[in-house]
């Protein structure tokens, strides 16, 4: 019995999966390879599972941004809505969203040392704008509130944008908000 034969078959199978994934990624199709688990999806439910997930999470993006590889915890498919952006964003800690998940009042704390016009927009998961608040920001920090009490439980998105007054770069950030009852 040749013991190297199963190893050759395994390596051939893994290599074939990577070739298939890279060719489909170039066509814009999402490909997921889960070596120890699976997925189930119907019109009401989507479930992913895995056995022996890594504790470390690592994400790599190809130079031409046509391929994204993540190892570690499973992440749900977002129906191709993920975008990779090189636009300037807020540094960690400059925008804080409290609490998240939220039941009633959502607070957005902005602490950027740059004056400008600040825009905060709340969207549904489908992209419909619910509300927008815009005002002059003086660079000292501010807290904006959104009353989420009457909204249904689910996912919402908060878009924050700072347009500097004197020739700076517009900074943008989008944040996922979870509304619970």
Instruction: Identify the CATH number of the domain in which residue 172 sits.
Output: 2.60.40.2550
| Reported pTM | 0.53
Taking only the tens place, the pLDDT of each residue in 138-177 is: 988 999 999 999 999 999 999 999 999 887 788 999 999 9
Residue 45 lies in a domain: yes
Residue 87 lies in a domain: no
Taking only the tens place, the pLDDT of each residue in 50-61 is: 665 555 556 667
Regarding whether 155 and 107 lie in a shared domain, the answer is: yes
Regarding whether 168 and 101 lie in a shared domain, the answer is: yes
For residue 150, give the nearest of 96, 105, 111 by alpha carbon.
105
Regarding whether 66 and 9 lie in a shared domain, the answer is: yes
- Spell out the residues 6+ positions from residue 61 whose beta carbon is closer than 8 angstroms to its own: 67, 68, 69, 84
pLDDT recorded at residue 20: 46
Taking only the tens place, the pLDDT of each residue in 7-45 is: 554 445 444 444 444 444 444 445 555 555 666 677 666
What's the domain range around 170?
A: 95-179
Q: State the average pLDDT for the chain.
A: 74
Domain-ending residue, one of 71, 104, 127: 71
Residue 125 lies in a domain: yes
Regarding whether 59 and 9 lie in a shared domain, the answer is: yes
Number of structural domains (the chain) is 2
Regarding whether 166 and 132 lie in a shared domain, the answer is: yes
Q: Is there a contact between 180 and 149 (Cβ–Cβ < 8 Å)? A: no
């Amino acid at each position: 019995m040749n013991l190297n034969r199963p190893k050759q078959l395994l390596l051939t199978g893994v290599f074939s999966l990577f070739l298939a994934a890279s060719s489909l990624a170039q066509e814009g199709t999402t490909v997921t390879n889960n070596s120890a688990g699976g997925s189930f999806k119907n019109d009401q439910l989507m479930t992913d599972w895995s056995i022996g997930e890594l504790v470390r999470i690592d994400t790599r993006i190809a130079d031409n941004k046509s391929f994204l590889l993540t190892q570690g915890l499973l992440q749900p498919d977002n129906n191709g809505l993920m975008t990779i952006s090189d636009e300037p964003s807020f540094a960690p800690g400059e925008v804080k969203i409290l609490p998240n998940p939220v039941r009633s009042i959502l607070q957005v704390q902005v602490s950027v040392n740059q004056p400008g016009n600040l825009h905060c927009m709340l969207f549904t998961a489908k992209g419909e704008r619910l509300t927008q608040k815009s005002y002059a920001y003086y660079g000292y920090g501010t807290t904006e509130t959104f009353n989420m009490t009457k909204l249904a439980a689910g996912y919402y998105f908060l878009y924050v944008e700072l347009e500097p007054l004197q020739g700076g770069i517009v900074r943008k950030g989008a944040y996922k908000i979870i509304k619970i009852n």
